[in-house]
Chains A and B, each alone.
Chain A
Amino acid sequence: MSILKEIVSAVKEVIEVARTTAQGMSVTLSHIPTRKETVSYPDDAVTIYRRFRGEHFLDVNEDGKERCVSCFLCAAACPADAIYIEGAEDPRPYAERIGMDHRYAKVYQIDYGRCILCGFCVDACPTDAINHGHNFEWAVYTPGELVKDKSYLLANKWREPDVIPTDKQLPLAAKQKQDKLNIILK
């Protein structure tokens, strides 16, 4: 009798396992006709929110003059010591110089090997010179290439999808021509 009971319970067990597995399978099957959640990324654009903190860009004002006045506040606010600046004086009149003030950054480097993209530099900047862009493609072969210089950061502005250069910025933007980022801003 006991053997019979064991056989019955074993069969019951098998049926129960098969039933619950089939129940799980039905969930999987019900997902087949639904929309795909994945994006085939390099071919299709990814959607990114506006606040996304990506690679920085250095801004220029409406006349195409660099906004950075080399006040070192971004470097002081940086928790990772990623920003290196060398300031200089440019005594020429406004129309000729590259910055919007007498003082400008001769060297402006961000080490993306150190940067943690916290955005404290952007909060600190008193002239809105440094901003977060939306670029996230920065794979390189050597760590040295992660140190980005001023011309690279300035050119980053024109990569933003929603930035359209004004008439006075056009010559500058043409000189620093860059491909637009393959993203959709949301």
Chain B
Amino acid sequence: MQAKEIVVPTSAISMLRKPDPLSDTQMTVSMGPQHPSTHGVLRLELVLDGETVIRAIPDIGYLHTGIEKTMEKEKWQQVVTVTCRMDYLNSSGNDLGYVLAVEKLMGVEVPKRVRDIRVLLTELNRITSHLVWFGTHAMDIGAMTAFFYAFTQREKGLDLFECVSGARLHQSYFVVGGVRWDLPPNFLDLMTEFLDGFPSFLDECKRLVTGNKIFQRRTKGVGVISKEAAIDWGLSGPTIRGSGVDWDIRKSEPYSGFDTYDFNVPVYHDGDVWSRYLVRMDEMEESWKICKQAVERLREPGPYMSDHPKLKLPERDLMKKHIDVMIHHFLLASEGFTVPVGEVYQSIESARGEIGFYVVSDGGERPYRVRVRAPSYVNLSALPAMVEGSLIADVVAVIGSIDIVLGDVDR
């Protein structure tokens, strides 16, 4: 008897095809939405032939929060309280994207200290986000211990966020025109303490997971996506840098003063899970380098908010003494400010890739429309191209390697 030939489709059109009902070897399996390795509520419809994945169809929408619509209801300054709830692992990055977009539309220049605070916190957030990825990715593949060490370090990073902004995950610390409060006096020392302990932790990770032969055999040559395909799918972030494309918004379109920092963009060329793993591990080291430089720059005091009269709430002492300042405070706190008519696109490099904010203003006190280009959503769309033809156990590794956050996918 002749073995049946399996045709493995790799194009997006394959998603539209139904499984062959007459085939006795194919089977459709639902993976998720409650599967621990799907990192949230992602459902994958897998068509299997034995253990081989013929087709994978991601089914999203289980975590739809309507955040883009909610933004239209909030005032310009209040929107930062919902942006951080989209990609909850990289919340300050989301805030930064929105805040930069509105500042671009208003033509506001922020002080140098504000830019450095923003760089420091987004890079710290990149580290904590990658630590979650590192822990869960290793655990998906079967290495349990790495998870605990990664989360121990992440706790220390989140404590720093609590120290500076009052919240561990949903900071809402960046606002249009600056940051809400100045850094606490002991923050830079705590930050230095964290940064000093970080290289030895990374070294441990390398001995624990990177050097592990079993981990390498589970990841090398798995979930390959070529350079051309990665560009065609519109991937961004570590996922595209693992395919050999040197594309980083921090370098190509520098924002918030990233062009004044000295760092490298790690690029690996194999396009498999292992390459993406190495990119993220190296990125943590680069983020550590940027944080180090930012801490040194923040040693000297300066203004934490731009002097724009419509953005900065008045000094509290003045506000309590003078009635006209009080009236100004009331207007700012209740009505907020207006933004000139226009539309703007601003993208930044979040931990997952290019997160872009397309903000439209009709001159009112609320955004007319905010559209978010979410990196997880675009990266997830390439999942079928990566897993079709591989084994079902590799699907878990590939989902871990593109590091999706379902809050970011569904918004």
A-to-B contact residues, CB < 8 Å: 13, 16-17, 19-21, 23-24, 26-28, 31, 37, 48-53, 71, 73, 76-77, 79-80, 116-120, 123-124, 126, 128, 132, 186
Total inter-chain residue pairs, C-beta < 8 Å: 95
Q: Does B319 contact A (CB under 8 A)?
A: yes
The answer to the question of B329 belonging to the interface, with a C-beta cut-off of 8 Å to chain A, is yes
**Interface range for B:** 35 or more
Chain A residues, Cβ within 8 Å of B77: 120
Q: Can you sample 24 A-B contacts with CB below 8 Å?
A: A20-B214, A24-B208, A26-B207, A27-B145, A27-B204, A31-B149, A49-B159, A51-B164, A51-B165, A51-B181, A71-B330, A79-B75, A80-B81, A117-B167, A117-B170, A118-B78, A118-B81, A120-B78, A120-B81, A120-B333, A123-B313, A123-B333, A124-B333, A126-B319
Whether A24 contacts B330 by the Cβ 8 Å rule is no
B333 touching A118, Cβ below 8 Å: no
Residues of B within 8 A of A126 (CB): 319-320, 326, 329-330
Q: A27-B207, A27-B208, A116-B170 are in contact. Are A76 and B334 (CB under 8 A)?
A: yes
A17 to B180, CA, bound (A): 51
B320 touches A20 (CB 8 A): no
Distance between B147 CB and nearest chain A CB, rounded to angstroms: 12
Identify 12 new A-B residue pairs, CB closer than 8 A, beyond the known A124-B333, A126-B320.
A20-B211, A21-B212, A21-B213, A27-B208, A49-B163, A49-B184, A51-B184, A52-B167, A119-B166, A119-B180, A120-B78, A126-B329
Chain A: CB-nearest residue to B217: A17
* Contact call B319/A24, Cβ cutoff below 8 A: no
Contacts of B162 in A (CB 8 A): 48-49, 51-52
B275 vs chain A, min Cβ distance (A): 19
Nearest CB of chain A from residue B270's CB, rounded to whole Å: 20
For B261-278 the 0/1 string (1 means CB < 8 A from A) is 000000000000000000
Interfacial chain A residues near B167, Cβ < 8 Å: 52-53, 117
State whether B208 touches A17 (Cβ < 8 A). Answer: no
Closest 3 CB pairs of A and B: A124-B333, A79-B78, A76-B334
CA distance A120 to B336 in the complex (A): 12
Closest to A14 in B: B213
A27 to B143, CA, bound (A): 13
B166 close to A73 (CB less than 8 A): no
Q: Which residue of A lies closest to B164 (CB)?
A: A51
Residues of the B chain whose Cβ atoms lie less than 8 Å from the Cβ of A24: 143, 145, 207-209, 211-212
- The answer for the CA separation of A79 and B170 in the assembled complex, in Å, is 14
Using CB atoms, name the residue of chain B closest to A37.
B152
Minimum CB distance partner of A127 in chain B = B320
Q: Is B213 a contact partner of A51 (Cβ separation < 8 A)?
A: no
Nearest-CB residue, chain A, relative to B82: A79
Cβ < 8 Å to A, chain B residues 148-206: 149, 152, 155, 159, 162-167, 170, 172, 180-181, 184, 204
Interface residue? B74 (CB, 8 A): yes
Q: Which residue of the partner chain, among B81, B166, B208, B316, contacts A116 with CB atoms under 8 Å?
A: B81
Task: State in angstroms the CA–CA spacing of A186 and B187 once bound together.
Answer: 11
The answer to whether B334 touches A77, judged by C-beta atoms less than 8 angstroms apart, is yes
Q: A77: which B residues are within 8 A, CB to CB?
A: 78, 333-334
For residue A120, which residues in chain B have a CB less than 8 angstroms away from its CB?
Answer: 77-78, 81, 333
Residues in chain A near residue B145, CB distance under 8 A: 24, 27-28
Give the docked Cα–Cα distance between A85 and B329 (Å). Answer: 20
Cβ of B213 and Cβ of A20 under 8 Å apart? yes
Q: Which residues of B contact A31 (CB under 8 A)?
A: 149
Contact of B333 among A48, A76, A79 (CB under 8 A): A76
Q: In the bound complex, how far is the Cα of B313 from the Cα of A145, in angstroms?
A: 34
Which has the most chain A C-beta neighbours within 10 Å: B167, B170, B316?
B167
